[in-house]
Structure 1
């Protein structure tokens, strides 16, 4: 077993493709296949399921992926430590993020990050918080970002950004700028409500808000549901109804006069966004750099 074999397996598992792995690490596809066949023979188990449409790890392959990636991470760390390091670092970061961080937090962060590290490429996929937890367990993504803390202990979940949920209403909506909980309860019982889908972090935080107000989702007049925050804000601006959204998502809409946000008189609804990493994974230098940068960036911002 050598590092080239491990590298071939890791990239096939991450990219779900022999040809893409070959292009990425500059080896021929037959060489990639030979490396993985040798690994499987040496380990005495099948690591990859090969079909005409896709390639993906077996259960043994998922288990072995952790060890293989960790060994490569240690190699990269050793090289990085004894070389010049710094801004010359190259690589790719793959992120699986729920809708608010994917649409409203990550673009500005990546823009600032790449001014210092232009040779680091980002691959961002949007999903809801629940799916982030499910999909992060596979080989494809380095980190997950969610708008609510997930149950279980599969990941290290580090809060990095503190946000507030605000009530978004159409721009022509007539109501005081600062309302009491009693008025809020009446609004929620009588106004059409725009819902986020099951599994979203915003919806889970909404359930907590309703619980604090002695309400349930069933008591709301649900007009429609969207699987992303942009759809919710567009629906609010179109006059369909009201909704709770992250303050981080509202700036452009409020500045353009498309919606209004309502503050509550007696209390606020706070939420955290979390950076998720796999407990058993050793971070590669490029991953470690991003992890540290993100936490420091939002610490200074807030």
Structure 2
């Protein structure tokens, strides 16, 4: 089994096209098609389904894709460790950060620490609404990801980092009844126009659940994923939103918007770090993971992150 054939197969599946994969790999399309046919003959299975729009993996192809990610990752790891010897840690480590989560707040601090302590490691940070990070972890396309929730998901190992509360972010001129701590009750914002992400987002799921438990219906006037758009809409008084403090604190504008604690109920979610269960970690990814856990726990324990509680 030629490792280059597996690398080419991964590229075909990633791009969903043999022709685009051939262009990217700088080889002729007939030669790449022949490599694919050789793999199908070796496994005695059809690996992709061809159509006018491209190719999609069969069940066997998806299984090979997962194993190919593991094998090529181990091959890359061996090349780095053997050629580098006992020198400083090197390599590329990919970290997924869920939008609207604590992960995006931790990212800059993590980058600073990696540059200071592990200067020969290249950190790849990604933040996407479209990708399902648990799937990218299982297939080896990501080394780790910071997500909300604590599993369980087959093929993924979760390490809880902290618990994080959600807050109300509202236009500055909007007034709400507040208790002695300055907190707003959920029932008092039942008629407030809300700007929230779509239903598949963990923030929306948590908010919907909180309203349902109080037998209330949120007044959602728009679904917004882009934080810059959300920030501007709140400044203009179009509506309010409910977010983890780590996100709300990044888009609040003094004099234009304001953050309130929420009570009755407190909306709270676990923040976890997930890594693959089967694919071995590289020394570089272990080092980055340890830095990320250390950073998250220290930040959650500080007084600079309201509503965050470290685990352990």
- TM-score when scaled to structure 2? 0.74
Residues 39 and 21 from structure 1, CA distance in 2 versus in 1: closer, same or farther, beyond 3 angstroms? same
Residues 108 and 88 from structure 1, CA distance in 2 versus in 1: closer, same or farther, beyond 3 angstroms? same
Q: Secondary structure at the match of 1:250?
A: helix
Alignment partners' CA distance in 2, 1:227 and 1:255: 18
1:29-84 deviations in whole A, cap 9, x for unaligned?
Answer: 55544433221111111223344543332211111122222223333333444443
Residues 183 and 126 from structure 1, CA distance in 2 versus in 1: closer, same or farther, beyond 3 angstroms? closer
Say whether 1:193 aligns with 2:191. no
Alignment partners' CA distance in 1, 2:190 and 2:3: 61
Name the counterpart of 1:155: 156
Does 193-202 or 117-126 show the bigger shift?
117-126
Name the counterpart of 2:5: 5
Alignment of 1:104-183 (within 5 A): 104-110=105-111, 112-114=113-115, 116-117=118-119, 120=122, 122=124, 124-127=126-129, 132=132, 136=136, 141-142=141-142, 143-149=144-150, 152-153=153-154, 155-175=156-176, 178=179
Name the counterpart of 2:307: none
Residues 70 and 154 from structure 1, CA distance in 2 versus in 1: closer, same or farther, beyond 3 angstroms? closer
Does 234-243 or 116-125 show the bigger shift?
116-125
Tell me by how many angstroms 1:290 deviates: 4.2
Alignment partners' CA distance in 2, 1:207 and 1:139: 31
**Native 8 Å contact 2:17 2:54 kept in 1:** yes
Alignment partners' CA distance in 1, 2:180 and 2:204: 22
Tell me by how many angstroms 1:272 deviates: 2.2
Name the counterpart of 2:241: 243
1:236-287 deviations in whole A, cap 9, x for unaligned?
Answer: 2221233211101122443533311112578743322233444443345555
Q: Secondary structure at the match of 1:126?
A: coil
Tell me by how many angstroms 1:203 deviates: 1.3
Alignment partners' CA distance in 2, 1:186 and 1:46: 56
Structure 2 regions of 5+ residues with no counterpart? Answer: 301-312
Name the counterpart of 2:60: 60
Name the counterpart of 1:269: 267
Number of aligned pairs?
297
Name the counterpart of 1:298: 296
Alignment partners' CA distance in 2, 1:59 and 1:92: 28
Tell me by how many angstroms 1:103 deviates: 5.1
Tell me by how many angstroms 1:144 deviates: 4.8
**TM-align CA RMSD:** 3.9
Name the counterpart of 2:303: none
Does 106-115 or 268-277 show the bigger shift?
106-115
Alignment partners' CA distance in 1, 2:162 and 2:114: 17
Q: Secondary structure at the match of 2:107?
A: helix
Residues 224 and 8 from structure 1, CA distance in 2 versus in 1: closer, same or farther, beyond 3 angstroms? closer
Greater helix fraction, Structure 1 or Structure 2: 1
Alignment partners' CA distance in 1, 2:5 and 2:149: 38
Structure 1 regions of 5+ residues with no counterpart? Answer: none
- TM-score when scaled to structure 1? 0.76
**Native 8 Å contact 1:165 1:269 kept in 2:** yes
Alignment partners' CA distance in 2, 1:4 and 1:89: 22
Residues 163 and 60 from structure 1, CA distance in 2 versus in 1: closer, same or farther, beyond 3 angstroms? same
